[in-house]
Amino acid sequence: MLRRFARDRAAMLGAVLIGLLVLAAVFAPWLAPHPEDVWQFHTPRRLLPPGPGGLFGTDRMGGDVFSRILFGARITLSLSVIAVGSAVLIGVPVGLVAGYFRGWFSDLLMRFAEIFLAVPQIVLAIAIAQTLGPSIQNVILALSITYWPFWARLVYAETRSLRNEVFIESAVALGASPLRVMVLHVLPNIASPIIVRTSIGMGATILTAATLGFLGLGAPPPTPEWGRMIAESREYLPDAWWYALAPGMAIFLTVLGFNLLGDGLRDILDPRTRRSAGQGGGGGGGGGGGDE
Amino acid sequence: MVWLNIVLNRLVWLVPTLLGLLAIVFVLSRVVPIDPARLAAGDNASPEQVAAVRHSLGFDRPLPEQFLRYVAAVARGDFGTSLFTQQPIADDLAARLPATLELTLVAIVLAAAIGIPLGVVCGLRRNSWLDHVLRVVTVSGLAVASFWFAMQLQFLFSMKLAWLPLSGQIEGFPPEHVTGLMIVDALLTGDTEALRSAVRHIVLPAITLALPAAATVVRFTRNGVIGVISSPSVAYQTAMGYPRRLIVWKYVLRMAVTATVTQLGLIFGILLAGAVVVETVFDWPGIGAYAVRSILQSDYNAIMGFTLWAGAIFVAVNLLVDLLQAAIDPRGAR
Amino acid sequence: MSDILTVADLTLGFRTEAGPARVLDRVRLSVRPGEIVGLVGESGCGKTTLARAILGTLPAEATQVGGGRIELAGSDMLGPGGGRGVRGRAVTFIPQDPFASFNPLFRIGTQIMDLMRWNSPRRDPAVRTGWYSPARRRADRAAAIAMLEAVQLPQPARILRKYPHELSGGQRQRVMIAMALLPEPRLVIADEPTTALDVTVQAQILGLLRRLAVDRGVAVLFTTHDLGAAWEICDRVVVMYAGQTAEIAPREGFFAAPRHPYTHLLLRSLPEEGRDPVGIPGSVPSPLRPPPGCRFHPRCPRASQVCTEQAPPLLGEGHLTACHHPVGGALGDTLDG
Ligand SMILES: Nc1ncnc2c1ncn2[C@@H]1O[C@H](COP(=O)(O)OP(=O)(O)O)[C@@H](O)[C@H]1O
Ligand code: SF4
Ligand SMILES: [Mg+2]
């Protein structure tokens, strides 16, 4: 399985991109040429194009964009990990319970989850973030509230389709408690789609978080949040063309990394939706299959 | 029969979904640290004035009562008044609907016109260089932050090259009002000046909006084609000597498009979400930009109105998708 | 009369992720005009692969031809552009799965008329475009309705307007038979045409297929894992084991005096009065790791040293057997000799 993954160059690229993000976040203080620029102003050096002074140029406060990008990685990573983690922690149990038991309570849970899916996620997130006030914690809260139904819906559907499997029913017949069946029998069998969904969900969450930052709903300045940096750069276009370039690329590469990884994981974990089935797959399905 | 079932199925859930949505947003809007009465009264209002405004807007009543009052008003078609434009929300939304509709329609057409043929070709030539290139492009298209992409387009095509306008929907006089859609109205009234301007203005926002949708269409169509091309029905037709192009462009395409249509709700969701950001960056006078502005200004009536509108649109689109599916798939919605 | 189909020493396999799958090994087979030949073998022994190879519809990028020849109605199916202009005209096909083989989104009539447009016997071979004259369309449609009647489908005109899912499995397979006969082919390849159907319908469909083919003088190559079905309709039987031809014999000789140990065991596994069916121990080997020599030797009670080293040649006149130690006498002879 690992070898299959290693041969998938796109998925490997995704893993590498995420690895770089993690490295940047962890070692930002040591990697950044000007770590102090996150908080300090150097007005004489403001809006310098990329050059010997700074790899990606400087911003309106004279801060080194490269250093700020590295510190921004910390925000992006911690924010998305916590937000997605909470969404998973809410969504998976809700989906498990609603999928495992039948009855009005399950229906109610899923109807409640679907309400959140009835408006674009970005709108809900903006509304919540604005209501709660601009801070990183509130962005995380907004994202968790917005995104948990995705996991609930996925886990619900998977659990429902597993519910009638022989091995689940036999576990129930042997007297295992519902909790035990859910955690020990259902959950391990639906882990693959959850993992895939989580990787892709990371990408979506990071995009939404950046959008919140762009609209001024994230952490207050001078926090080096990538979306906010892009918003700041707007009034200096077209002269300071480099200003938005680096944060935009940083968002792009990070989201790309999680999406590629998710695609690759889907291929190895979830054979139903395998993207590039083995060469015999097509022919076998066309003629060789179905003899049993 | 089938049709009626589909419609009823959706409609039964429309009301509870919208009510739930309203309740969530309502609760959120009332735990706001900002006092809407103060906002409405203005910056230099005295405490007495604020209290008077609070009373007249009903903010001093218990929350459940406020909610019930609001729902009752909505049921009468009264969404309240915007705290900022001082217009009825319903009028504000209605005035901005055509702009959003026009942008979304152009983006959908663009996404389908680009996405479906590319998806078919990729599916047919799986693992060819074109397939690999387009895979990179589509994955990238879904990873780009649309506000950043929009800015880069503005930078290149408006600021540097000066080929296209930076923002807005039209320059000079809009065409005579017929449908509200600028391009359509300009065509109908033969206003070439307005047509030119409207088309030039819509290019960049439409491309930005269409990018992630087109990427999604390519992926669904490609996977649909791959699934169908290795299906027994294609194996049978090949063995029976149906010409290849007939198999592909009649039988396979129809199957792949049917599969893509089932995802139309998702694609529309992408567009609706995208419109919120794209309209803001391009100053497009539509509902998305209105929503962002209302939210940023804590214009809670407008927020509730917009949320309700978005939820209703979503339900309507899903209903439409169900019906469309029943229409193009003879097996019907089983 | 010369054969309509000749498969000579065909060796063929697939590239797979687990290595080459050597599915067919020097397969020999022939079909004479108007003859009904049964290709018999257990599931997984390569019947479908052979049928698709003959039709030229194997996945080009994965298929490796190791050698041999397929000649169908005078054209070389392994050559460049193999089979184009033959498929759907001189040779037609009846698939195993009538449920999945129609496109679910188009009416039966559309799918039949698209076939007729390109492959009807009334088309002008000189016209290469898709031009479909109204006169020919009318004639083709009348032929289609007549053929649907011939396969005993009631109200054929209504069938044309239906979608595949509105027909039962048996009805669909009747339509498939009609479509196979409409181009007036010289050979029909039927790949387990009744496996997916109810047992009660199977016999009817087989009888129908045989009658229509005999009436029209059409040859049929019919694959099955069911010896009973072969007995019902075949003139000649070809037994294949793990991609190797084991025995070729006329129907009577085959059932009365089989010579190949595998055939023996197959016949013994048939349920019969006064005797319990005896299964063959073991299973068909994977084409990824076929046994050397005679591929049957791990399961063969007569196997000897030579069987594991040399593949037996197919020998005989009329009744051919590929075995180093063929069974001499009647059924029940010393199999374990
Ligand atoms: N496209 C393919 N790629 C790899 N192996 C294949 C392919 N098609 C068939 N096979 C293998 O060839 C063998 C014979 O299959 P098949 O011709 O379908 O047998 P049958 O029709 O007699 O049941 C099987 O082991 C099958 O797995
Ligand atoms: S006796 Fe030898 S050659 Fe004959 S079938 Fe058995 S193993 Fe094969
Ligand atoms: Mg088969």
Q: How is chain B split into domains, by residue range?
A: 36-78, 99-284
Closest partner residue to C62 (CB to CB) among A283, A290, A292 is A283
Same domain, C229 and C329: yes
- Tell me whether A288 touches chain C (CB under 8 Å): yes
CB atoms within 10 A of CB B161: 9
Nearest CA residue ID for atom 4, ligand 2? C323
Percent of chain C surpassing pLDDT 70? 94
Q: Do C59 and A292 touch (CB under 8 A)?
A: no
Q: Is the domain of C173 the same as that of C207?
A: no
Neighbouring C-beta atoms of residue C28, cutoff 10 Å: 18
My answer on whether C335 and C255 are in the same domain is yes
> What is the average pLDDT across A33-60?
68
Task: Please tell me the distance from the alpha carbon of residue C202 to that of residue C219, in angstroms, as a whole number.
Answer: 20
Give residue-wise pLDDT tens across range C78-111. Answer: 877 777 788 999 999 999 888 889 998 899 999 9
Which atom of ligand 1 is least distant from the CA of C45?
22
Same structural domain, C216 and C322? yes
B297-332: string of b/e by CB count within 10 Å (b at 16+)? bbbbbbbbbbbbbbbebbbebbbebbbebbeebeee
Domain span at C143: 102-184
- Give the number of domains in chain C: 2
A107 and chain B in contact, CB less than 8 A: no
* CA dihedral (C49, C53, C59, C60) positive or negative: positive
Edge-to-edge strand order for the sheet containing C219-224? C91-94, C187-191, C219-224, C36-40, C236-241, C244-250, C320-322, C314-315
Give pLDDT, residue A285. 27
Complex prediction ipTM: 0.90
The answer regarding whether domain A2-273 maps to CATH 1.10.3720.10 reads: yes
Q: What would the two tokens of residue A233 be?
A: 């750069």
CB B230 within 8 A of CB B255: no
Domain boundaries, chain A: 2-273
Architecture in CATH for domain B99-284? Orthogonal Bundle (1.10)
Structure tokens of A136?
């990183």
Region at C307 (left for phi over 0; alpha for psi -120 to 50; beta for the rest): alpha
Q: pLDDT value at position C254? A: 86
The C-alpha torsion from C310 through C314 and C315 to C318, rounded to 10°, is 170
Q: What is the CATH number of the domain that holds C64?
A: 3.40.50.300
Domain membership flag for residue C277 = yes
In a domain, C336, yes or no: yes
C300 inside domain: no
Pocket of ligand 2 (CB under 6 A): C 261-262, 294, 296-297, 300, 302-303, 307, 312, 323-325
Residue C315 and residue C213 share a domain = yes
Return residues 71-110 of B near A (CB < 8 Å). Answer: none
Closest ligand to the CA of C308 = 2
- Give the tens place of pLDDT for each residue, C307-334: 999 999 998 888 999 999 998 744 445 5
Output the pLDDT for position A39. 67
So what's the pLDDT on residue A292? 24
Look at residue C95 and tell me if it is in a domain: no
A280:C21 CB<8 A = yes
Of C114, C149, C184, the one marking the end of a domain is: C184
**Atom from ligand 2 closest to the CA of residue C300:** 6
Q: How far is CA A12 from CA A276, A278, B306, in A?
A: 16, 19, 42
Asked if A255 lies within 8 A of B143 by C-beta distance, the reply is yes
Q: Which of C184, C218, C248 is the last residue of a domain?
A: C184
Q: Which residues is C224 bridged to in the sheet?
A: C40
- Centroid of ligand 2 to alpha carbon of C220 (angstroms): 29
Neighbours of chain A (3+ CB pairs under 8 A): B, C
| Token pair 């969904």 in the structure block, residue | A197
Q: Per-residue confidence of chain B (334 residues) as pLDDT tens digits?
A: 667 777 777 777 777 878 887 787 777 766 665 666 666 666 677 777 777 777 776 777 777 888 888 888 888 878 888 877 888 888 888 888 888 988 998 998 899 889 988 998 888 888 788 888 888 888 888 889 888 999 888 888 887 787 888 777 777 777 777 777 777 877 888 778 878 888 888 889 999 999 988 998 888 888 888 888 888 999 999 999 999 889 998 999 888 888 777 777 777 777 887 888 899 988 889 888 888 888 888 787 788 788 888 888 877 887 787 788 777 777 764 4
CB atoms within 10 A of CB C250: 14
Encoded tokens for C159: 């069938």
d(CA C241, CA C224): 13
Domain co-membership, C212 together with C249 = yes
Asked if residue C159 belongs to a domain, the reply is yes
